[in-house]
């Protein structure tokens, strides 16, 4: 492959990577290129110091970005040779991806790849239309293919417990001044030109309650921000699901991120949007409670609601030039 062609492929892969979801849209990653190899690094300046002490959410976010790189390379006709955490002496180096031999992308890869820039986080209720059972099964399969488990929570009492834990965590976090400042830092005012943070147009100005209600993060913090589009009008909770892994190492967090992204893209391809509520996972005792009492010893990596909504939502990202360094790994 010519050097220019390889660089074009790598650029396209990083362009896809940046559209991954990340906690508060921190985009906590950077990329470097060495020949035909891409290095994915965790950007420690973009880790949440209070919300994400262990760096778990950062690695889940970077795992999602890694999935996009894999999909993009395959969609562009190249095998992706991935090494996760390749060097124990360099913990910030999360993965290397080498351009492998030529492959023809299968239909599913192309389908997922086509959703990467379209997928958006939802922050309100859903319509009453249920997520079809066969689609839920497919989503469970998508997570399993990456070594994680997606468990739909069908038991109403368990859904109420998860909603209550989310509420409790949100309540406790909002009483903590420093924690609140960290969330506000990533709230993006209307009309802002910032290329990161949560856009004011991506959540409702006056949120309607679902039953049970899953507390939203307070990105507006008392400001009259937030959108008024139809996508925020529905009031069904949707399908609640938890993404878990058996163990809880850094490798598991990266795997969970890849699984998450596969689930989200597959859902998006079938018109299903997803809302996240990870407040309780940022509190050690609540996450441990979930592990022991609700999840049969599995470790929660993501709490989400899935369903149908009106329109698509908005997204912002830093340009590739800001996250990609063209020098040796």
Q: Which of 182, 157, 142 is nearest to 240 (CA)?
A: 157
Tally Cβ neighbours within 10 Å of residue 229: 15
Q: What CA–CA distances, in Å, run from 34 to 91, 101, 271, 314?
A: 18, 17, 38, 33
Point out which span in 20-28, 148-156, 157-165, 291-299 binds ligand FMN (CB under 6 A). Answer: 20-28
Give 151 or 202: the residue with its C-beta nearer to ligand FMN. 202
Round to whole Å and give the CA distance between 83 and 77.
19
**Contacting residue, 9, 15, 30, 61, with ligand FMN by CB under 6 A:** 61
State which of positions 164-203 bind ligand FMN (CB under 6 A).
198
**Contacting residue, 24, 250, 266, 305, with ligand FMN by CB under 6 A:** 24
Rounded to the nearest 5 degrees, what angle is found at the Cα of 45, between the Cα atoms of 42 and 46?
70
Range 27-44 burial, b when 16+ CB lie within 10 A, else e: bbbbbbbeebbbbbbbbe
- Tokens coding 304: 């989400």
**Contacting residue, 11, 81, 109, 121, with ligand FMN by CB under 6 A:** 121
By the rule CB under 6 A, 315 interacts with ligand FMN: yes
Round to whole Å and give the CA distance between 293 and 30.
37
Round to whole Å and give the CA distance between 170 and 279.
6
Residues 6+ apart with CB under 8 A from 25: 186, 188, 196, 197, 198, 199, 316
Q: Closest distance between ligand FMN and the C-beta of residue 200, in Å? A: 12
Q: Closest distance between ligand FMN and the C-beta of residue 5, in Å? A: 29
How many residues are recorded in the chain?
329
Point out which span in 85-93, 130-138, 245-253, 271-279 binds ligand FMN (CB under 6 A). Answer: 271-279
**Contacting residue, 217, 250, 287, 305, with ligand FMN by CB under 6 A:** 217
Q: Closest distance between ligand FMN and the C-beta of residue 20, in Å? A: 7
Point out which span in 39-47, 126-134, 265-273, 275-283 binds ligand FMN (CB under 6 A). Answer: 275-283
Q: Closest distance between ligand FMN and the C-beta of residue 72, in Å? A: 16
By the rule CB under 6 A, 123 interacts with ligand FMN: yes
Tally Cβ neighbours within 10 Å of residue 320: 17
* Closest residue to ligand FMN, based on beta-carbon distance: 21
Q: Closest distance between ligand FMN and the C-beta of residue 309, in Å? A: 12
Q: Closest distance between ligand FMN and the C-beta of residue 316, in Å? A: 8
Where along the sequence are the contacts to ligand FMN (CB under 6 A)? 21-25, 57, 60-61, 64, 120-121, 123, 198, 217, 276-279, 313, 315
């Amino acid at each position: 492959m010519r050097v220019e062609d390889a660089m074009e492929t790598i650029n396209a892969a990083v362009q896809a990577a940046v559209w991954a979801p990340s906690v508060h849209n921190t985009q906590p990653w950077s990329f470097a290129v060495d020949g035909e190899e891409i290095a994915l690094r965790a950007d420690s300046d973009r880790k949440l110091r209070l919300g994400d002490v262990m760096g778990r959410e950062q690695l889940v976010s970077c795992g999602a970005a890694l999935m996009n790189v894999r999909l993009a390379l395959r969609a562009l006709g190249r095998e992706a040779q991935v090494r996760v955490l390749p060097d124990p002496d360099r913990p910030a180096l999360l993965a290397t991806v080498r351009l492998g031999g030529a492959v023809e992308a299968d239909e599913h890869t192309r389908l997922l790849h086509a959703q990467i820039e379209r997928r958006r986080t939802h922050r309100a209720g859903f319509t009453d239309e249920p997520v079809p059972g066969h689609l839920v099964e497919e989503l469970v399969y998508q997570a399993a293919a990456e070594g994680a488990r997606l468990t739909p929570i069908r038991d109403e009492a368990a859904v109420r417990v998860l909603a209550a834990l989310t509420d409790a965590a949100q309540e406790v976090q909002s009483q903590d001044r420093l924690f609140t400042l960290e969330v506000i830092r990533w709230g993006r005012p209307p009309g802002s030109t910032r290329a990161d943070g949560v856009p004011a147009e991506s959540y409702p100005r006056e949120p309607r309650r679902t039953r049970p209600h899953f507390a939203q993060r307070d990105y507006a913090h008392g400001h009259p921000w937030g959108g008024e589009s139809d996508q925020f009008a529905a009031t069904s909770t949707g399908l609640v699901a938890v993404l878990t892994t058996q163990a809880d190492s850094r490798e598991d967090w990266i795997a969970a991120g890849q699984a998450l992204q596969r689930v989200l893209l597959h859902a998006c391809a079938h018109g299903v949007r997803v809302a996240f509520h990870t407040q309780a996972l940022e509190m050690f005792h609540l996450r441990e409670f979930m592990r022991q009492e609700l999840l049969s010893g599995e470790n929660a990596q993501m709490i989400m609601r899935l369903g149908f909504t009106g329109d698509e939502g908005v997204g912002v990202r830093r340009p590739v030039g800001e996250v990609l360094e063209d020098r040796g790994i």
